[in-house]
Amino acid sequence: MKELKLILMGFGAVGKGVAESISIKRNNIKDKFGIDFKLVAVGDSSSSAISANGLDEKLLIETKEKKGTLDKYPEFGSNINGEAVLDKVDYDLLVEATPTNIENGEPAKSLTIKAFNAGKDVVTSNKGHLALFFSEMIEIANQNNVEFKYEASVGGAMPIINFAEKTLPSSKIFSIIGILNGTTNYILSRMTIEGSSYKNTLEESQQLGIAETDPTQDVEGIDAACKTVILANSLLGIPATYSDVEVEGISKITSEAIGLAKKEGYFIKLIAEVSKHALKVSPRLIKKNSPYAIEGTLNMATLKTDLADEVTVVGKGAGSIETASAMLTDIINIIKIKYQK
Amino acid sequence: MKELKLILMGFGAVGKGVAESISIKRNNIKDKFGIDFKLVAVGDSSSSAISANGLDEKLLIETKEKKGTLDKYPEFGSNINGEAVLDKVDYDLLVEATPTNIENGEPAKSLTIKAFNAGKDVVTSNKGHLALFFSEMIEIANQNNVEFKYEASVGGAMPIINFAEKTLPSSKIFSIIGILNGTTNYILSRMTIEGSSYKNTLEESQQLGIAETDPTQDVEGIDAACKTVILANSLLGIPATYSDVEVEGISKITSEAIGLAKKEGYFIKLIAEVSKHALKVSPRLIKKNSPYAIEGTLNMATLKTDLADEVTVVGKGAGSIETASAMLTDIINIIKIKYQK
């Protein structure tokens, strides 16, 4: 059976989800596509495990969770990290799941370009390099004639890139308006239901692990703005970058404002708008029974099109396995393009 | 430039939408896929227009609207109809948009099988032959190694077949629960908002052209049951047929029942359930702020999956151009598979 040799860089929540998904779906993928996944290297921020004969997904997760770093992986763990990992073993496809860095897009940018230049396909969940250097990344991928897929970077398990490209190719997309950040949607939903303050709700969300210790990227709209840029470039052909997005977060929203809106039949949501006229993330009033009235950590997006009119998709914007499922879908779509002819 | 020769059978609302969509998108498809559409024959219930050099979409629509039948199409109109049309001209793909017939699936069944046996691909918006003979239809398509696509048969412009297959291939789908009939959703929505009776609301819907003169297929749940069968077969691999679906329509729902539900924060919706445990169409209570609380003629479906958890899609379940857009998406997907290698 044909093997697909994968390197996975980044072994936090999403990376571990990828390893787990591969373990769950290996036999299914063998049956359906005649491809056997082999994880030949996995890197975290400081170390890695590398073996041309393949690593064990469950042992990788156990090593990371019990011992903290991958250099403790039996026999094949080492201090090799970053780009050096890609030189140590032959591979077909890089699964890039390092944390988003909106300052310079690293290490995702360098890892991805290195893979492209070696003729390897890349699947990513990262937003930084795409939000800062979208056109450049696509150009380098095209120059090397490799596949570059990033479904997980926008909606987690909510299909949006594939959704537009594969289910609506007959229609022109005019705009995408949606809720692209689950953490802020959770905070606003709780504030609406409980009448609680922003500060208390944020703290509660941090205790539940929904908001991060440093919540800036989520609550100030940075995460949603990155996704806005990715959608603008990929689905609307607008060559925008991060600084083109007008951004306002939710940290100044009071429980009084939410209460007033609620009385009048409205919710306050952090809405991302992607169109030729606006690239914008801001709190907006939305009607109670509209498709935008989703609760909790869900993401949603409404695409306005010419022939199909308005189409809406809703799904989990985060979660380890959920986000990994989008990356696995990207890998399967690459298999269909490149390995099944 | 490569030509794709199409025969369009059925020239009601959907068929006319197909002609109009082709006219709108011809240049776009040329640019994007290097394929030129040529409509070589169009048939209505009693006549046709046939020309190997291609017909004019706008003139077809004008002829049908002003003169009633296609035999009045200048020069190329004739009384040839039904299967005979497929013998009169060379073609690559049959676009089948005849009315759904839940008694015996005709004329869709015979037209489609004739096309399959001639080695032609088929795109359909029809539910009858699929709801009655799904496995047989797929088998004949496979025997002839042709493509058979039916996105438009379930959700109109709401992507559901392509949505599941192309955006969620990494996940196993456990169930699909949704609102698959726009007419009944419109009637129930109006009854909820206005407190009006079923009878009056149905009449109002008929005047608006939302409900048909004979509304049986919609209001008795037959249309939704056909769609349930198609989803069971295509997405869940359940070899069901129409008689396997437990069906209850909306004609016995009173304004009192809707009023009582509303007071408690619920709506009554006609819900289709597709799972290993149930193939069922019935009125159900759904919570006000749930994804099922869509209004008007919209369709929606929530797919429960293993990796991606729950994913929901919402779109227009009917409409001439909207339904045609789904058929055009199917045609484009066939172009990608067969004509772009």
- In this prediction the ipTM stands at 0.95
Across the interface, whether the CB atoms of A322 and B309 are under 8 A apart is answered: yes
A333/A276 same-domain check: no
> How many domains does chain B divide into?
2
Preceding omega of B239 cis (within 30 degrees of 0): no
Q: Is B341 on the interface with A (CB under 8 A)?
A: yes
Mean pLDDT of chain A: 96
Alpha helices in A195-319 (DSSP H): 198-207, 216-219, 222-236, 255-263
User: What beta strand segments (E) does A190-336 contain?
Assistant: 246-247, 266-275, 279-287, 298-305, 310-316
Mean pLDDT of A221-244: 97
The predicted-structure confidence for A150-201, as pLDDT tens digits, reads as follows: 999 999 999 999 999 999 999 999 999 999 999 999 999 999 999 999 999 9
Quick: pLDDT tens for B296-321. 999 999 999 999 999 999 999 889 99
Looking at the predicted structure, is the pLDDT value of residue A341 above 60? no
Q: Is A152 an 8 Å CB contact of chain B?
A: no
What is the structure's pLDDT at B59?
98
Q: Nearest-CA residue of chain A relative to B293?
A: A289
Residue span of the structural domain in which A113 resides: 2-156+320-339
Residues of chain B with pLDDT under 70: 341
What secondary structure, in 3-state letters, does B165-214 show? HHHCCCCCEEEEEEECCHHHHHHHHHHHHHCCCHHHHHHHHHHCCCCCCC
Residues of A designated as active site: 227
> How far B228 CA sits from the closest chain A CA (Å)?
20
Domain of B104, CATH number, reads 3.40.50.720
Q: B202 and B137 in one domain?
A: no
- In a mutagenesis test of the B interface, which of A185, A311, A335 is the best target, namely the one with the most B β-carbons within 10 Å? A311
**Pair B229, B85 in one domain:** no
Mutate: best of A95, A170, A177, A309, partner B, most B CBs <10 A: A170
Strand order in the sheet with A48-50: A77-78, A48-50, A35-43, A2-9, A93-96, A121-124, A148-149
B338 touches A: beta carbon within 8 Å: no
Taking the CA of residue A80 and the nearest CA in chain B, the distance in Å comes to 31
Beta strand B148-149 with B246-247: parallel, antiparallel or unpaired? Answer: unpaired
d(CA A73, CA A77): 4
- For B161, the closest chain A residue by CA position comes to A167
- One domain for residues A291 and A257: yes
- Is A341 labelled as part of a ligand binding site? no
> According to the model, what pLDDT value does residue B341 have?
57
State yes or no: cis peptide before B99, omega within 30 of 0.
Answer: no
Do both B26 and B143 map to the same domain?
Answer: yes
* pLDDT in the model for residue B288: 85
- What percentage of chain A has pLDDT greater than the value 90? 95
| Contact between residue A329 and residue A156 where contact means Cβ atoms under 8 Å apart | no
Would you state the pLDDT for residue A290? 85
> Does B261 share its domain with B327?
no
pLDDT of residue A225: 98
For residue A334 the two structure tokens come to 């690459």
Give pLDDT, residue B289.
78
Q: Which B positions 284-323 lie with beta carbon below 8 A of chain A?
A: 288-289, 291, 293-295, 305-316, 319, 321-322
**In chain A, what percentage of residues exceed pLDDT 70?**
100
Q: What CATH number is given to the structural domain containing A262?
A: 3.30.360.10
Contact A167 B24 (CB under 8 A): no
B23 touches chain A (CB under 8 A): no
User: Is the Cβ–Cβ distance between B60 and B19 less than 8 Å?
Assistant: yes
Answer whether residue A142 shows pLDDT above 90: yes
Q: Is A224 in the B-facing interface, judged by CB distances under 8 Å?
A: no
Claim to verify: residue A58 and residue A179 sit in the same structural domain: no
Do A334 and A310 fall into the same domain? no
The model's pLDDT over B238-269, given as tens digits with 9 standing for 90+, comes to 999 999 999 999 999 999 999 999 999 999 99
Say if residue B141 is in the same domain as residue B275. Answer: no
Residues A43, A116: one domain?
Answer: yes
What does the pLDDT look like over A285-326, one tens digit per residue?
999 878 899 989 999 999 999 999 999 999 999 899 999 999
Give yes or no: residues B140 and B177 share one domain: no
Residue B166 in marked binding region: no
φ and ψ of B178, to 5 deg = -165, 180
Assess whether A47 and A178 both reside in one domain.
no
Structure token pair of residue A142 = 């095209």
